[in-house]
Amino acid sequence: NTSLSASEYEGLLDLLGGNDTTPLTSLYRTSVHGTTYGDLLDNVGDAKPLVFVVRKDKYVFGAFINCGLELPEGPRDAEHGYECDLWHFSLSGHFPKPT
């Protein structure tokens, strides 16, 4: 279940190097699952790789990470870094075609 248009979905598949048979599964939507960080973690779990898609007015953009989410050691840890491939993309609103 996705809020992406057919062209946005195809653009995302192209950026990911997939094709029409590449399965993408929606794990979390704020409108369905809630808006807290805990809601996100509960629904994403240890899935990887991950694609985050944000829709704001006419803009659709996001980020891809090849690993899963890793929590900090404790709730007071201000920073938590780990190695992960990351890239940002725009599916519509910013440029004539997905970038």
Asked if 55 and 29 count as a contact pair (C-beta separation under 8 A), the reply is no
Instruction: Classify residue 36 by burial, with Cβ atoms within 10 Å: 0-12, 13-18, 19+.
Output: exposed
What's the confidence (pLDDT) of residue 49?
A: 94
Ordered by start, the domain boundaries in the chain are 6-70+82-92
**Does 22 or 14 have the greater pLDDT score?**
14
* pLDDT beyond 90 at 98: no
pTM score of the predicted model? 0.81
pLDDT above 90 as % of the chain: 59
- Max alpha carbon distance in the chain (Å)? 44
